[in-house]
Chain A
Amino acid sequence: MSDLEAFRAKAAAWCESMVPAFGKAARKGLSVEEDLALGRRYQKAKFDAGFAGINWPTEYGGQGLGHIEKITFEGEEMKHGFPNVYFGISLGMPVPVLMQFGADRDFVKERVVKALQGEEIWCQLFSEPSGGTDLAGLRTRAEPDGNGWKINGQKVWTSWAQYSDYGVIVVRTDPTVAKHKGLTYFWVDMKAPGVTVRPIKLAGGDSHVNEVFFDDVKISDDHRMSPVGGGFAVALTTLMIERYVATDSAGFGPHLDLFVDLAKDVKINGKPAIEDGRIRQQIARNYAMRAGLDSINRRARLMMQAGMTPGPEGSLNKLVAVRSRQKLSELALDLQGTDGFLFDEHASPKDDWASSWINAPTGRIAGGSDETLLNTIAERILGLPQDHRPDKGIPFNKIPA
């Protein structure tokens, strides 16, 4: 058995052992607050077992292993539906950036360990009402205030802000230069005076995203994590941290097996739907597409194991998987006819077609919309030109509103 296989076996055994306490059955019927409390206990158990911060340095509470071990663990972990969603953003982006750019190293170390233990949560304050994709067009401003800064403005779509202790934020510190040159990157205390968090209820019924208002929020200069005016580069680092995470060719919706089971179960014109050519074609097409994504992901893992950099095709997963999950979920509701009306707001998008369908649009927008991803593929991989950008090179305060 290779070291990696041994690691996988150990991870799989540990995950199995956590199912009674933290699995789907244990979470059933819990309120979000109760589930979060359970999640914190899960994260602590994960830390104690040596599966938190797998590829982070040991001096910050990590395990000092490789990226391949991390995604190997995640591949096992995602089979069980543990309450880890609250820590995904926190440990995925803000905390690694803090680890890389935070000025006060003792403070950084304390925060990182508490975040790994599930005791503290960090959010990422990027998107604003005026734009999400156009990150550099943000309007929230920080002005010099004594030895520090004073923040005013509004962020939006901030995941888990209502439960967060800290956040990383990009703000405008100079409106007189081109838009991406006037930004600076800070961390903020989410409990500081002047910070107001308002949850936004989404179409599917859940409220994990928020509006966050900043009214004269004062921070000292040691909160700064980039040079003044150098915030955009750090923000890009954040977005590029881990292109290869444990991906899901089902687009975080139901597995195709569930669709096949449904098609065997229901009838069209008196015959099992699985015998209907229209249904068969969709099953076959979805299988071929998902098999392709799975193969891309397997190849990426093998390349990482061999110490190589995986190809850019890994960027296809979210684009291809989520939009096809949306259509397949529509068809699954069609298949059930009027029985498809049944809707459980607390059902999981991973095993319920209505839940998968109503939450799919969020997946096609969050973390880079389909259109943004297509632009990225076209420009970064294929070398096609950027879109026409009338605001390019113009001082931010001269851009026509």
Chain B
Amino acid sequence: MSILHDEGQQAIATESRRVLEARISKDDLLPLLQTSGRYHEGFWTTAKEQGWTALALPEAYGGLDLGLVELGLIAHQAGRSLSGAPFLTSGFGAAKAIELLGTDAQKQRWLPGLASGEAIGAVAFAAGADPLPARPDLTCANGHIEGRARSVTAGLAADVAVVLADEAGTPVLALVDLAGVERSAIDSFDNSRLIADLRFAGTPAEVIATGPAARGAALQILTLQAVVTAHEQTGGAEALMEIARDYAVTRKAFGQPIGAFQSIKHRIAELYGLVELARANCIHAAARVDQADFITAAAAARLSATEAYDTAARDCVQIHGGIGVTWEIGLHLHMRRSRSLALEQGNSLFWEDILVDRLAGEAA
């Protein structure tokens, strides 16, 4: 399988970058931090209008039938420009679950809306520190869900969620129409992620997988989302590396650009290394979808992308000195995003275990 991007794929990368750079500025994003429940509508309008929501969904349901490679390229650009809403990844995860496990009726009901972006999807598997709990917090009985799904990204705006629940000691994956479900916004350090607690009180749900199949499918969805997020993280890290470089060649101290000092230039060169390793892992992982080694490739991408974005956020601010910690310069937007993306789709500890279990031949 090719891991060089073809002309169409390169065009997707170039065009999405152009559009996002023209339409998104940090001045639009900063106010979103100080309110709850708002996202960058311009970003989402752009995503819908450009067909990004439809990209990796089947043609029969209004999708464009492209894959993870193309969605990854968009996510990378979204990461560069600090995407103003989390729905590309959450909607993709929910749609993939429906595509893989749902009935024709369920696909008819949800996929066209998710593809056009008119419907917003969310995925709720985690219970706090456990991204994929063996005993989920939610319970399911006779097609009804009870309990609280905590800190669900995009939960405040989502129309439909795929949840992991416990049905008499067995895990199930269920599809829930969120209309009328009570939600409370979580005040987070990155408010445009629209993180919310969802309270289910006998909410009707349709079980789409049961037992080990449910857990396996949940891991598969999480893995697909992790690869998309890894691209977004890599894009963010790349942008920060460039911001640091641009600052280091213009800012002067002791009569020379600070980028002439090895303590600064080596730090930026190290960021370059982290970004390129993450990028290479992302490209590889996206090209390995449906192969036996997809999950290890995804874990490698996720781990290196998290490290790249976290480190770039830390070092880029440090290289800027005092101006770097001001509200106005907005580097904290990346700081915040690097951590919110690190916590979504399973933290590094989770992916380290996933990886080592497989390398040691101990995976279930």
Over the window 294-333 of chain B, the binary record of Cβ atoms lying under 8 Å from chain A Cβ atoms (1 yes, 0 no) is 0011011101100100000000000000000000000000
Q: Decide if A288 touches B4 in the complex (CB within 8 Å).
A: no
Q: Kindly identify which residue among A283, A295, A296, A382 contacts B359, using a CB–CB cutoff of 8 Å.
A: A283
Prevailing SS type, chain A contact patch: helix
Nearest neighbor of B356 in chain A, beta-carbon distance: A280
A302 to B268, CA, bound (A): 28
Q: Decide if A388 touches B260 in the complex (CB within 8 Å).
A: yes
Q: Decide if A288 touches B260 in the complex (CB within 8 Å).
A: no
Q: Decide if A288 touches B355 in the complex (CB within 8 Å).
A: yes
Nearest neighbor of A280 in chain B, beta-carbon distance: B356
Over the window 190-207 of chain A, the binary record of Cβ atoms lying under 8 Å from chain B Cβ atoms (1 yes, 0 no) is 000000000000000000
- The stretch of B97-105, B181-189, B272-280 in contact with A is B272-280
Q: Decide if B276 touches A285 in the complex (CB within 8 Å).
A: no
Q: Kindly identify which residue among B257, B266, B299, B307 contacts A385, using a CB–CB cutoff of 8 Å.
A: B257
Q: Decide if B273 touches A319 in the complex (CB within 8 Å).
A: yes
Please give the number of chain B residues whose Cβ is less than 8 angstroms from any Cβ of chain A in the complex. Answer: 42
Q: Is A381 an interface residue (CB 8 A)?
A: yes
Chain B positions within 8 Å of A281 at CB level: 352
A370 to chain B, nearest CB (A): 9
A122 to chain B, nearest CB (A): 33
Q: A287-B359, A302-B2, A386-B260 are in contact. Are A313 and B276 (CB under 8 A)?
A: yes
Q: Is B215 an interface residue (CB 8 A)?
A: no
Prevailing SS type, chain B contact patch: helix
Chain B positions within 8 Å of A386 at CB level: 260
A213 to chain B, nearest CB (A): 34
Q: Decide if B249 touches A316 in the complex (CB within 8 Å).
A: no
Q: A260-B359, A283-B359 are in contact. Are A288 and B304 (CB under 8 A)?
A: yes
B346 to chain A, nearest CB (A): 13
Q: Decide if B3 touches A284 in the complex (CB within 8 Å).
A: no
Chain B positions within 8 Å of A303 at CB level: 4
Chain A positions within 8 Å of B356 at CB level: 274, 280, 283-284
Chain A positions within 8 Å of B272 at CB level: 316, 377, 381-382
Q: Kindly identify which residue among B262, B268, B299, B362 contacts A387, using a CB–CB cutoff of 8 Å.
A: B262
Chain A positions within 8 Å of B21 at CB level: none
Q: Which of B320-364 contact A (CB under 8 A)?
A: 351-353, 355-356, 359-360, 362
A260 to B262, CA, bound (A): 36
Q: Decide if B303 touches A378 in the complex (CB within 8 Å).
A: no
B263 to chain A, nearest CB (A): 11
Q: Is A327 an interface residue (CB 8 A)?
A: no
Q: Decide if A295 touches B4 in the complex (CB within 8 Å).
A: no
* Chain B CB within 10 A, most for which of A280, A382, A386: A382
Q: Kindly identify which residue among B3, B269, B359 contacts A302, using a CB–CB cutoff of 8 Å.
A: B3
Q: Decide if A288 touches B303 in the complex (CB within 8 Å).
A: yes
Chain B positions within 8 Å of A260 at CB level: 359-360
Chain A positions within 8 Å of B35 at CB level: none
Q: Is B256 an interface residue (CB 8 A)?
A: yes
Q: Kindly identify which residue among B4, B300, B362 contacts A292, using a CB–CB cutoff of 8 Å.
A: B300
A371 to B267, CA, bound (A): 11
Q: Which chain A residues have a beta carbon within 8 Å of chain B's beta carbons?
A: 256, 260, 263-264, 274, 280-281, 283-285, 287-289, 291-293, 295-296, 298-299, 302-303, 306, 313, 316, 319-320, 371, 374-375, 377-379, 381-388
Nearest 5 A/B pairs, CB to CB: A292-B277, A284-B352, A295-B280, A378-B265, A377-B269
9 contacts between A and B (CB under 8 A): A260-B359, A289-B277, A291-B300, A296-B280, A320-B273, A374-B266, A375-B262, A378-B269, A384-B260
Known pairs A260-B359, A284-B356, A385-B249 / 17 extra A-B pairs, C-beta < 8 Å: A260-B360, A274-B362, A280-B356, A284-B351, A285-B303, A287-B296, A288-B277, A288-B304, A291-B281, A292-B277, A295-B3, A299-B3, A374-B266, A375-B262, A378-B259, A384-B269, A385-B265
Q: Which chain B residues have a beta carbon within 8 Å of chain A's beta carbons?
A: 2-4, 245, 248-249, 256-257, 259-260, 262, 264-266, 268-270, 272-273, 276-278, 280-281, 283-284, 296-297, 299-301, 303-304, 307, 351-353, 355-356, 359-360, 362
